[in-house]
Structures are given as C-alpha cells and as structure tokens.
Amino acid sequence: MITLKINGLNVTVEEGTTVLEAAKFLGFPIPTLCHMEGLSPYGACRLCVVEIGESPKSRLVSSCTYPAEAGLIVRTSSARVVKARKMVIELLLGTCPQSKVIQDLASEHGVRQQRFRQEHEDCILCGLCVRMCSEQMMAHAIGFRGRGEHRSLGTPFDVKSEVCRLCGGCIYVCPACQLRCTYNQPEKAICGGCGNLEPPCVEKPQFDDMMCYMTPCVACEIKKD
Amino acid sequence: MIAEEVSRVVEKHADRRGALISVLEEVQQKYGYLSPEALQAVAEKSRRSLVDVYSVATFYRAFTLTPRGKHHLCACVGTACHVRGAPNVVQELKTQLQVEPGETTPDREFTFETVNCLGACALGPMVTVDGRYNSNVSTAKVRRILDKARMGTQGEEPASDERNFPITVSCPKCHQSLMDASTPIDGHPSIHLETPMNGSRGWVRLSSLYGSHNCKSQAEIPLDSIAPLHCTHCSEELHGAGLCPECGSPMAVMLIEDAGILQLCTRRGCNGHALDLNEPEIAGRPSTRTAG
Ligand code: FES
Ligand code: FES
C-alpha cells in the first residue's frame, strides 16, 4: 500500500495504481480523452495532466500513465495544470474541431477561442480504437502506421482486414468518429459496423451502405479537397 | 519460398525478445524491400499480428515497402545544405529523375530520397549516391552525378580504390592457374571458371581484385540462384568447406598462390567470402578469416 497526497488529502492506494485512479477514488475530477477503463493506459492526449512535486521543481505528468508513488504530492487543478489543460484542448480543437467530444471538453473547460489553424483532421491519434480492437475484441485488425506527420490509423496496406469481425468497437470508442466514416469510399471502410446504427446520411450519393453514427454526420458536411 | 526464408530468419532470432526489427532488417536485406507477402510471413512465423509488424515496418526509415532502384540517391536538405542551395539541387534531381523524393524511377535505376543531415554540413549541398558522398553539389553537377551513377560505382573503378588488391588463384584439385589474362576485369587478369548453364557449361569470369565484385558470365545468372563453380582444366567442382557467413549458401574454394585459401559464396548477388591466409603479412592484409 502506498500513501500519497492529492490536493492536500492523503490517500492510500495499492501499488500499481495510477495517479488518475487515486484521484478518482478521492473524487477529484481529471478530464481524460485517450483513457478508458478496460484498456491499457496510453498517454497520447495529455489531457489528464497533473502537477507533481513541490514548486519550483514541480512538473507536469499525464496522470493516466503515472504510477502512484509513496509520498507523492499531486495537484490536479493548479493554475499551471489548468493552463496546460486548456492549451491541450485548444490544440485538439485545432486538429479536429468537428468532434463532439472535443467541443464538449472545450465548453466544459471554458476554452472560448482557438488560435491555431484549423486542420479538420479525421483522427487525433488517441489510439483508443487500436487498443479496443486488440485488447477487448482480440482482433488486432487496425493499428498505427507511419510516423510523425504521416502517422495514420488503419489496416495494413489499407486493405479490408481479414481479422476484423465488423464489431464496430472502434467506432464506439472513437472521440472523433470520422476515421471510420469513409463517406463515399465504402471499399476503404475498416469495419462498416456503423451500417447497423441509425443511418443519418442516406441521401448522400453512393453512401447507402456506409455511414457513421453521428446525427447528422459532421464530417460529411465538411468539404474535403 | 518467401515463407521458408522468413521462417529461417525468424527462427534464428527466436530466442530474443523484441527481435522484430532484426528480423525485418534481414528480410529486407534479402529481398531489397519488404513485400506484403514477406510482412505477412514475418507476422505468421513470429506469431505477431500483421498490424504490429506493419506499424514497425512503416515507422522506421530504414525499411521500405516498395522495391528500391539499383542506385540509391540521397540529397541532404538539412539546415546547412538548405542555405547552401539544397532546394535547387533537389528540384533539379526531381526534374531530371521525374520522381518525387521517396520514389523510385520507373526504370528501377534510382531511388531518390531526402535526408535531414548527412553529417558533412561544411561541404554542402551534399548528395550521396550508393553511400558515396558528393560535396558542393550544384544544379550543374547533377547531370554528371546521375550519369556517373548509371555507369556503376559512380564511375569510379574498383581498381582505383586502394583497399582493393589483386590476387592470383589456382584450382585446389589440379593446381593449375585459373587466371585469364586475355579477358581482364578491372584492369587485372580475370579468374576464369565454369558453371552449369542451360544444360551445358558456361564460362564465368570474376574480378581478381579482392574487394571488387565485378564479374562477367556467358549468360545472365539469375539473382539469388546458386552457381556451382568448376575448374576449367579438370572440370572438378570447387567445393568449399562450410557455408557462406552471410547467407548460408555453399561456398566455392580456390587457392591463392602461395598464400592460402579463398572461399566465396556461390549465390549470385551475395558478396560473402572468406580469406584464409597462411602468412598474415601477405599483401599487408590482416590475417585469417576476413568475412564480409
Ligand atoms: S487520458 Fe491521459 S494522456 Fe490521454
Ligand atoms: S545539413 Fe547537409 S550534411 Fe548536414
């Protein structure tokens, strides 16, 4: 058992618990995006930053991946944390402004502006779908490809996966939910599981068989060139 | 066939955790690139999911999923080279080769890539061709560099490389000389041998320069095929002891005049060889067993 201090309160947790879990136990809210119970922590979105240690030597870490240490001093909503968190949200907004999840986060945390060039990316590379597919669905159908600027998500060689069972788990967890929405290229679709859900964009040409579950599909409204 | 090769490679690394990169490296070395079949085979043999193998293969610059050209052209676009005019050089290369960086010309001659620093900033703009550096490259020089590359080893004769030295060899069975002065390769008498070709025997001539891999043959020997080498005098096969240290193919053996034994890999395209010298000081070379 380990005792650490979160926002001035002592809490005793089992070894291996993350700071995020410990904070949750005490009821301190920490926003997360790429974290999901049942999936391994990944630390991609940095939304869950907290400050650890004493100033001036304190630092920001992602609480979802940081294991609790004995005597650790954690602050979950210091000025520094709030500032960093807002910046993360702003960056996420810049990448994928059409995502409902990110919009909600922005309004929740009082992010009222977005100073970066809007990208309208399909994917924020949070890796939720990858982990869902491999850890919960045991399919290993999709994964990351490439690196840096060219990092993308999908099946190897962009061909329809043989191991994919069209469970739709990836869409279910996707905070952007546009990656799987392939609009007018049904042959590129990874799973097509969204076809089972409420069909919002049937009127769109060549798009009877593939659609995403957003009503209306926000990604489809955006002109891609 | 790929599957067998791959399973051999995978087995070799089986006892090591995280050997995926080594496996991929070796497979790529063998085939020049990572084909979808090869990746599939690696995934199956190493019991990983194809997704994981694919993401590693696409992550590292060292791996390529498309076949490479004969020559590898790499232009530096690092800061130092940039201010010295690398963008113009890259543009010139693009227009001359008609490909974008990262692509291979349709005739499979060149693979063109850009890199962020070659570590020779003071000499920029830098362009490497098959690992050899060209410094202070200007747009005017580009044509010459490409022409030289097409001619092979950048137009540089292996003979002018001082690390290479000529050897004289004879047959280990009948002890007659295998040297052929009538057909020089690299400016030295060639090593004259025979190999089975389309049912009969055809000639092969190898460069006698140790370090040069130039050779000629009566008919094209397909890449990766094993060509058993025979003596032209006694027709005996030059059966070597052991297997190639690089690819595990059978080796052919020859006697180096008064000096020792030369073994070389019989697989076309493999440059593996081993030198067994009696007298270490011969030709100033370090002693026994230099593989590679
Ligand atoms: S939730 Fe911790 S980094 Fe995304
Ligand atoms: S910047 Fe070109 S070699 Fe360093």
Instruction: Kindly report, residue by residue over A160-179, the tens digit of the pLDDT.
Output: 778 887 777 787 788 876 44
Q: Is the pLDDT of residue B203 over 80?
A: yes
State if residue A36 touches ligand 1 by the CB under 6 angstroms criterion. no
What does residue B245 show for φ and ψ, rounded to 5 degrees?
A: -65, -20
- Domain B71-160: give its CATH architecture: 3-Layer(aba) Sandwich (3.40)
- The token duo for B283 is 């030709």
Mean of all residue pLDDT scores within chain A: 80
Q: Do A143 and B39 touch (CB under 8 A)?
A: no
ipTM: 0.74
Task: For residue A140, give the nearest of B36, B51, B58 by CB distance.
Answer: B51
* A2-108, CATH topology level: Ubiquitin-like (UB roll) (3.10.20)
| Domain boundaries defined on chain A | 2-108, 128-224
The whole-number pLDDT of residue B278 equals: 57
The whole-number pLDDT of residue B292 equals: 37
Ligand 1 center to A23 CA (angstroms) = 14
Average pLDDT over residues A190-196: 44
User: d(Cα A60, Cα A51) in Å, to the nearest integer?
Assistant: 5
The whole-number pLDDT of residue A17 equals: 93
Contact assessment for residue A27 and residue A93, using Cβ atoms and an 8 Å cutoff: no
Contact assessment for residue A25 and residue A13, using Cβ atoms and an 8 Å cutoff: yes
CATH no., domain A128-224: 3.30.70
Would you list which residues of chain A are within 8 Å, Cβ to Cβ, of chain B?
A: 130, 134, 140-147, 155-157, 163
Q: Does B47 touch chain A (CB under 8 A)?
A: no
Instruction: Kindly report, residue by residue over B13-46, the tens digit of the pLDDT.
Output: 876 767 889 899 888 888 888 999 999 999 888 8
Which helix (H) or strand (E) covers residue B40, if one does? helix B36-45
User: d(Cα B188, Cα A76) in Å, to the nearest integer?
Assistant: 77
CA-wise closest residue to A177 among A218, A134, A130: A218
| Domain boundaries defined on chain B | 2-59, 71-160, 165-270
The model carries a pTM of 0.62
Q: What is the largest CA-CA distance in chain A?
A: 60
Determine the distance in angstroms separating the CA of A156 from the nearest CA of chain B, rounded to an integer: 6
Ligand 2 center to B71 CA (angstroms) = 21
